[in-house]
Amino acid sequence: MGQKVNPISLRLGVNRTWDSIWFDEKSFAEKINEDILIRHYIKNRFSRSSLSKIQIDRKPSKTTITIHTARPGLVIGKGGSEVDLLKKELKKKILEKYLKIMILLLMDLIILKLSFYLINIP
């Protein structure tokens, strides 16, 4: 019987990075539970907006959540109202003073990568 290896672990450091970037020795379990809670909440709330990845970067004084989506209009809302509401609700859940939410359009990233490769082809 062959050994089964997770395909994400093979790609880490080559063409994919970690989904959470932080380090904490004392409250490691609490931070992992918060990450799971954040991802579950965002995926359920924006289930129709074609989310591809949610990255969480934690520094000692701030937390940055980056949402990769194909339909940013559903995540941002009218005049940024959905993002502000999401930020308020997440601040209540994780009790973080400074929370930054970034939304990246998935199609722009693909076009930028393709244009980069097309320019650099000899």
Q: What is the 3-state secondary structure (H, E, C) of the chain?
A: CCCCCCHHHHHECCCECCCEECCCCCCHHHHHHHHHHHHHHHHHHCCCCCEEEEEEEECCCCEEEEEEECCHHHHHCHHHHHHHHHHHHHHHHHCCCCEEEEEEEHHHHHHHHHHHHHHHCC
Asked whether residue 92 is assigned to any structural domain, the reply reads: yes
What's the CA gap between 18 and 56, in Å, rounded? 9
Specify the pTM: 0.74
Asked whether residue 55 is assigned to any structural domain, the reply reads: yes
Residue range(s) defining the domain that contains residue 29: 22-120
10 pLDDT more than 90: no
Write down the pLDDT at residue 90.
Answer: 87
- Among the listed ranges 41-50, 59-68, 72-81, 109-118, which one has the minimum average pLDDT value? 109-118
Asked whether residue 37 is assigned to any structural domain, the reply reads: yes
Q: Where is pLDDT greater, at 17 or 116? A: 17
117 pLDDT more than 70: no
Candidates 71, 57, 46, 42; CA nearest to 100 is 57
Asked whether residue 10 is assigned to any structural domain, the reply reads: no
With bands split at pLDDT 50, 70 and 90, how would you rate the model's confidence at 115? very low
* Residues 44-49, mean pLDDT to the nearest whole number: 90
* Residues 101-122, mean pLDDT to the nearest whole number: 57
